[in-house]
Amino acid sequence: MSQSPYIVEVDSSNFTDVVLQESMARPVLVDFWADWCNPCQMLMPILARLADEYQGQFLLAKVNTDANQDLAMQYGVRSLPTVKLFKNGQPVDEFMGALPESAVREFLDRHIERESTRLHAEALVAQHQGDLATARRLLEEAHAMEPRNGEITADLAAVLTEDGEFEKAESLLNALPPDERGKPKPAGMLARLEFARQARELPSDAELEEKLRDDPDNLDLRYQFAISRLALGDYDTAVEQLLAIMAKDRSYKDDAARKTLLKVFDLLGDDPRVDQYRRRMFNLMY
């Protein structure tokens, strides 16, 4: 049995007290599992880790269905693992199968309002108002609570980048679980850091722009200017330069322009400009 205070083994004798009664005060996540079920074994450490991370904001109740077939039948469990979330004495949501940690986290966050979520929201307001010091402090607090949360980590990395702390930002992003690191916002921030690192090895932006005016057919200059613009956050200009390279020479540096555009799309996430950029890129390809 787990030593965590947030994880309880449940059977028919204590299901009412541990699940139904406790769910009147806080959400209870019930994991229906069995020893022979390999996906159950894959899911268990994820649920246990999240139960400890959420520090009692939900209780994890584990039901061995081989020993408690009556409970499995009562709650309509037909495949394993099945995970049901109880509130106010009733099951209100469920999922089946061994989901990745990010998906389980999203499932929980639909039902649990977290302190880290509040801090994150306040940080974004402060950042929008130009108060980067407050934004950084709030994001660091939220990240300490949820170091594996890709959204919080990416926003903290963005503030650290504004402060010139590129290595720290990259280290935090690389410490994320692979499924979180691959989400659009963390992946985009990693791309932004890569652009910033490349730009530090280039001539100044003004110098590149002047040289490009004098030698507009120089694709090396055009690509370097695109990277410089990306590092400065001028995505429109950078994309125009990359599309111009594609139009001129698709094979330039092993299709570097198209590959860089894909990183820009990750960086911009759900920005409405991405669809327009992507269509123009596809037109040049096909």
Pairing of strands 82-87, 7-10: unpaired
- Write down the catalytic residue from 7, 8, 19, 37: 37
Name residue 125's beta-bridge partners: none
| Rounded Cα distance, 74 and 44, in Å | 22
CA distance linking residue 56 with residue 79, whole number of Å: 27
What is the spatial distance between Cα 57 and Cα 146, in angstroms, rounded to a whole number?
13
DSSP label of 1: -
Report how far apart, in Å, the C-alpha atoms of 136 and of each of 147, 189, 193, 235, 240 are.
Answer: 15, 16, 17, 24, 33
Catalytic, out of 19, 30, 40, 71: 40
State yes or no: is 196 an active-site residue.
no
Residue 221 to residues 64, 136, 231, 262: CA-CA distances in angstroms?
64, 36, 15, 20
Which residue from 182, 126, 184, 185 is spatially nearest to 153, judged by alpha carbons? 185
Confirm whether 40 is a catalytic residue. Answer: yes
Question: Rounded CA gap, 142 and 167, in Å?
Answer: 20
Give the whole-angstrom CA distance, residue 252 versus residue 178: 31
Ramachandran category for residue 71: left, alpha or beta (phi over 0 → left; psi -120 to 50 → alpha): alpha
Active site (catalytic) residues: 37, 40
